[in-house]
Structure 1
Amino acid sequence: MVCNCDHEPAPQKPNGKFRTALWIALILNLLLFVIELIGRAYAHSSALWADALDFFGDVVSYGISLAVMGISLYWRATVALLKGIVMATFGFIVIGKIVYAYVQGIPPEAMTMGVIGVLALIANLVSASLLYAFRHGDANMRSVWLCSRNDAIGNTAVILAAVGVFGTGSLIPDLIVALVISILALTGGYQVIKRALRERKEHQSVTM
């Protein structure tokens, strides 16, 4: 292969504050994933199921982000691209679950939804506040910020869904929130994929 005269800049030294923020976010998300998975089985809530799956995706995302710190920008963008695809895939899976839950027609248990939604919101507000300073970083940094931001919005929606289910006795508020979470995953995944593709193109020549 012909050598390109350009040279790739040395990988950036991992940001210690970013690493610490990621570890805290990873632990919080793992804990809430377990809580929501158990709560979902009891409450029969599509919104909690979607949120639990989202938490698990974030755990994987944060773990990958920790693993790729210090490698080249091209490969960090490649990892971000894969994460964006996973985010978008998650959105489509949730849409399928919404259709299934609608056919089943079983209203969720509102109190469990509300309590777990509040716990999840607190955890994600902590994560989002820690990662806020890195939202304008590379595609990999932006992807983890988007994950936490979307989760906080989703948790707020879960709480509102619990109120709606409690007031109406219907599963429709739960399904609406699950749909909101799926749309957040699809749009967030699109943003990450778009930026990752651009960064891969910008830094591809220096890997040749």
Structure 2
Amino acid sequence: MNEMTTGSIHPDGRWRSTFRVPAMDCPSEENLIRAALRGLRGARLTFDLPGRTLVVEHAGPAEAVLQRLQPLELGAQLVGSVALTEPGPAGAEADLAAEARVLRALLAINALMFVVELAVGWWAQSTGLMADALDMLADAAVYGTALLAVARGAASQAAAARVAGWTQGLLALLALVEVARRAWFGSEPVSLLMMGVGALALVANVACLLLIARHRDGGVHMQASYIFSANDVLANLGVIVAGALVLATGSPWPDLLIGTVIAVVVLRGARRILALT
């Protein structure tokens, strides 16, 4: 049952509503929810992922918020609403717009590096570079589906997420098949190209970290984006180290090993996206 504070309700009719979201347990679900509620006027969101709880400050009835959450099929339920007597913090809309600009930049960087790493990885016979390209695609899919929902709503986002999930899963499986093929028939990865493009990808992900740094405390979704890019830096370093080992030993196995590890990570990410849709 809804609760109400004593005193006058804020003139804008603002409320603080609490929702129980049983299937919300990672940043991917949080990104889906943020995208679904992005167009809600004056909304401010607070997430408790371990507690599966979402608190929304909003104008108008709580049922309007719930109607946006239900198509996500995360089991959202309204726990209660409390009328607010004070306005929300100034600049919230501007902060959301700034975060959206950062996410667009992250999408562009990751999409570009996906194309570059995939093409050069094929040319250089490097499964490590090709798998790292899929990691870039995985991040681009998260940012892209979230931004798509801003313009077209949660239904379009869910459809785009399914396409992204199946595409990532298929490419990850193809990468594993390529690793197996090269392990059986042999390969000669070009170590200098591996290290050079790996370094370029490292620069791109460091740039992503710098873009996110101002917003990493603004919400769990931006903190998650920071973590994604930090993990990508580790993958880039893995490709560079594998390239150095290929150069030092003359063996393709370091490249095959890093390619397998990254492809498995991308495949697990694809399964998680599909589980949400």
Percentage of pairs with the same residue = 27
> 127, 150, 160: which is aligned to 1:69?
150
CA distance in 2, matches of 1:128, 1:102: 35
> How far apart, CA to CA, are the structure 2 residues paired with 1:103 and 1:50?
18
TM-score normalized by structure 2?
0.55
Higher helix share: 1
Alpha carbons 1:54, 1:90 under 8 Å: kept = no
Distance 2:157 2:109 in 1: 25
**Distance of 1:34 and 1:193 partners within structure 2:** 23
Change (3 A) 1:71 1:135: farther
Q: Deviations over 1:46-93 (max 9, x none)?
A: 111222233344444433321112776x64883686345554444333
User: Residues 8-47 of structure 1: matches in 2 within 5 Å?
Assistant: 8-9=64-65, 15-47=96-128
Larger radius of gyration: 2
Decide which moves more: 58-67 or 113-122. Answer: 58-67
Corresponding position: 1:184 with 2:268: no
Work out whether residues 33 and 55 of structure 1, in 8 Å CA contact, stay in contact via their aligned partners in 2: yes
Root-mean-square deviation (Å): 3.5
2:158 aligned with 1:78 = yes
What code does the residue aligned with 1:124 have? N
Instruction: Report which structure shows greater RCO (CA 8 Å, sep ≥6).
Output: 1
Moved more, 159-168 or 95-104: 95-104
Cα distance, 1:8–1:150 mapped onto 2, change above 3 Å? farther
Larger mean Cα displacement after TM superposition, 58-67 or 23-32:
58-67
Q: CA offsets, 1:111-167, max 9 Å, x none?
A: 1100110110121232245447277239xx95x666534432321111111011011
Q: TM-score, normalised by structure 1?
A: 0.71
Match of 1:136 in 2: 220
One-letter amino acid matched to 2:158? T
Measure the CA separation in 2 of the matches of 1:193 and 1:53.
16
Please, which of 232, 238, 241 is the counterpart of residue 151 of structure 1? 232
5+ residue gaps, structure 2, are 1-61, 69-91
1:165 aligns with 2:246: yes
Among 59, 63, 76, which residue is 1:7 paired with? 63
- Deviation of residue 16 (structure 1)? 1.4
Deviation at 1:31, TM superposition (A): 2.8
